Structure 1
């Protein structure tokens, strides 16, 4: 993508016998000429002019993530380290259909994101034991207000907010409910399937943005 630099160009405007000077945004054309900047022509180009390159790349990634999330014919492969967008075939009855990832070839359900289960009903609401490094969490134990970081074992209290937790001591990121490691799950696919499905607590885009800002800030310390 071509990045544009904005220039302020002075223009004198005459109104009812009075004159005033305006500063209008312009950009450099391909031919080296200053042209008026039209923000409706390229919203992404405008954003690229106003933010650092790393934040603009994050904007494009979050924008694409939202587009896939809102598209009923696309979904992410539930394999955490795959990060492939898969196509969902239309279903006349609205029933779940099998989806095959073109990269890892996992066949999964379009609704619950579990391995394809044929004509059996999705069991996403079934309460099952969750294996963790500390044993098994069942039922109400996943709602405990105080837990230990799976890495450094420091105690962490959660009274509200999203289920993605970052330990302030060791910066380890994990799921509050099952203590699953989320350090490499940038798109938070963990909350697309299994017992923790739809339990993130906030919009995925806002959580990803906050996580990026926290990591960026910690890198400056």
Structure 2
């Protein structure tokens, strides 16, 4: 087939796509047992109609003995479907670019290649009018108004559409939009490049664009106790450039404090345990596993943290049925004579 004939065939296939709804067009299938040539790919409609039932002997498919033998490469099938969807998208764009549309801003008819449509509502406007419309809204700080110019239409332009139309410098302002951190406002605020101060034009609230709290000038952002752990992990995993940014944002003193507090916490978790009776932190200084709480004078086992009976403090370590049998001292096997001598004392 020549390239002209193939292009003509593709244009014929576009006709039902432009007439019927997209979902309705995708649902159209050929009768069972016949092949369908769609966009250069052959589909066996019987595969879809058979469902999960085993293949039945059919003279059309004498070489397929079983159902599961038909699917040899699932990945290639998925790739084929993706190619069809991409081709369909390309043909829709081709069809759009070749048609004329009326722009409801300048009321001029222009080719689709000179226009742009909003994805949700499909309203079409020429790119020149949308460019002016977007630039005016961005300069005025009304970035929440980058939606369809049609009255009461909630469709919003995608960042890619805005970037395609406006200048790079102006898009940089749009790309640095933050929202007012005041709980009663939440309106978008234009952030100047290299500046961490945001000023809401609606409620006049001045806030830090990094920590979202009241603007604090050159002072580092405040860090809550809960966030210290995240800050420490982020700092340890960051590269040198990102570490400098974190130090500039929070201050070296705060970063150092986060590191020291985490080291102290890890050391406490390793060397301290809370009394099972009153919760007082107890430090173990030697290998002796019979502990005495300095707060409530309760005896307990350092290994399993169970309370010890005052009638026989060492039964927990001498009873063979105990999980801590013969573990009065760490990694030391103690002779029974020691128990008797210590009990007598």
Pick the TM interval, shorter chain: under 0.3
- TM-score, normalised relative to structure 1: 0.27
The structure with the greater share of residues assigned to strand is 1
Normalising by the residue count of structure 2, what TM-score does the alignment of the two structures yield?
0.18
Larger-gyration structure (1/2): 2
